[in-house]
Amino acid sequence: MAILSRTLVLLILMLGSPKAIADEPIDVYVAAYEFPPFYSKEMPRNLVGEMITSLNFMQSNYRFILREVPVTARYQALSLEGCCDVMFFETPEWGWSQGATRHNIDLGVTTPIMRGSERFVMHKREGIKDTDFSDYQNKRIGGMAGYHYGFTGKRTTTDLLEREYGMYLSNSHMTNIRMLMNDRLDMIMLTDEFIASLENTEYYDKLAFAPEPDSSYTLSMLVNNDKAIDVHIMSDLLKQLNAEGELDALFRSFNLTSFQIQAPFQNTDS
């Protein structure tokens, strides 16, 4: 009887252990800030949310959950004390070297999956010349708070950008577009990825685009290796998404295939 009692106690302890619940997925929180078409609460669809859906459908070891964060809090979000574990469609060039050091983040970066760029945009009207885009003196320029723009030396201090570059910084690309349409701004900065997603909207034909980008970049997944998932597992999941054709389908549905770095999936079955 004593042996049976000890056996029951051991069984209860094992079942109560988290490691015994093998089928329970690990929650992975994905940080997202206003960066359309990747994420925006103002748009009906966003790429980060739909990629999360595809990842959760494809596998059951991890449960990816979207969590919105302010753009200026993205580094803190991935810290050990922060709310998130990974960030989709981000580049280390946007302050992550200093941010990772300041917040003690063991930063992992996947192979880039997209290339992108951003350029000046004006309200289309007769008489606009290409040279108008390179002359931003005495112009009211709309941008996003916390973004790293090439023409400002990638400085992000709000007071400095307003004082030295005459910038109006908002938290919404759509706000900037509406202000441009109402002639309250002379130029705004938009990413080419967002411009591509606007092609079938009421705004696209009313916009004039600078012939050359202000800056270019590549986008990867950024991971804190000390948290719920590491960069190697995240890379393997991306490869699986690509192999199953899901990555290509997602990019195509947002009109982003021209920005894709990883080759689209090719079905070689006869």
pLDDT of residue 264: 53
Task: Check residues 223 and 159 and name the one with the higher pLDDT.
Answer: 223
- Residues 62-116 have pLDDT tens digits of 999 999 999 999 999 999 999 999 999 999 999 999 999 999 999 999 999 999 9
Q: Is 16 exposed, middle or buried (0-12, 13-18, 19+ CB in 10 A)?
A: exposed
Task: Check residues 153 and 68 and name the one with the higher pLDDT.
Answer: 68
Please, are residues 110 and 235 in contact by the beta-carbon 8 Å criterion?
A: yes
Using 50, 70 and 90 to split pLDDT, how confident is the model at 134?
confident
Please, are residues 173 and 126 in contact by the beta-carbon 8 Å criterion?
A: no
Which residue in this structure is represented by tokens 């389908």?
249
List beta partners, residue 143.
Answer: 169
CA distance 165 to 160: 8
Q: What is the mean pLDDT of the chain?
A: 88
Please report the beta strands in 172-239, taking only residues with DSSP state E, as ranges in sequence order. Answer: 187-191, 207-209, 215-224
Please, are residues 159 and 145 in contact by the beta-carbon 8 Å criterion?
A: no
Can you tell me the mean pLDDT for 114-130? 91
pLDDT of residue 250 exceeding 90: yes
Please report the beta strands in 91-235, taking only residues with DSSP state E, as ranges in sequence order. Answer: 107-109, 114-123, 141-144, 167-170, 187-191, 207-209, 215-224
pLDDT of residue 122: 94
- Residues 14-62 have pLDDT tens digits of 444 343 344 799 999 999 999 999 999 988 899 999 999 999 999 999 9
Task: Enumerate domains of the chain plus CATH numbers.
Answer: 23-114+218-259 (3.40.190.10), 117-216 (3.40.190.10)
> What distance lies between CA 75 and its chain's CA centroid?
13
Please, are residues 86 and 49 in contact by the beta-carbon 8 Å criterion?
A: no
Can you tell me the mean pLDDT for 182-189? 95
| Closest residue by Cα to residue 193 from 223, 213, 163, 166 | 213
CB atoms within 10 A of CB 33: 22
